[in-house]
Amino acid sequence: MPSLPRVTVVIPCRDDASFLEECLAALNRQTRPAHRVIVVDNDSSDDSADVARRHGASVVEEPLVGIWPAASRGYDEALGASDIIARLDADSRPHPDWIARIVAAFTADPGLSVLTGGAEFYGASPLTCYLGRHWYIGGGRVWIKLWLGVPLVFGSNFAMRADVWERVRTRVHRGNSRIHDDLDLTIHLRETDVVRWDHDLRMPVSARPLRTPRGLLRRVWRVVPTFAASWPAGAPGRRPLVPPVAPPVPTWEPGDDEDLSPEFGR
pLDDT of res. 259: 39
d(CA 192, CA 231): 19
In a domain, 265, yes or no: no
Instruction: Write out pLDDT tens, residues 174-232.
Output: 999 989 999 999 999 988 899 999 989 999 988 877 766 676 667 677 788 888 888 88
Pairing of strands 58-61, 36-41: parallel
Residue 249 has pLDDT above 60, yes or no: no
In a domain, 266, yes or no: no
Residue 37 has pLDDT above 50, yes or no: yes
Q: Where is pLDDT greater, at 22 or 147?
A: 22
Beta bridge partners of 155: none
pLDDT of res. 238: 57
Q: Where is pLDDT greater, at 125 or 61?
A: 61
In a domain, 12, yes or no: yes
Residues 6+ away with beta carbon under 8 Å from 146: none
State pTM to two decimals: 0.84
In a domain, 2, yes or no: no
In a domain, 1, yes or no: no
Residue 252 has pLDDT above 80, yes or no: no
CATH number assigned to the domain comprising residue 231: 3.90.550.10
Rg of the Cα atoms in the chain: 18
In a domain, 152, yes or no: yes
How many domains are contained in the chain?
A: 1
DSSP state of 246: S
Range of the domain at 59: 7-260
The beta strands (E) that lie in the chain are given as 7-13, 36-41, 58-61, 84-87, 114-116, 119-122, 158-161, 195-198, 203-206, 258-260
d(CA 8, CA 162): 9
Q: Mean pLDDT over residues 67-90, rounded? A: 96
Neighbours of 180 (CB within 10 A): 22
pLDDT of res. 145: 78
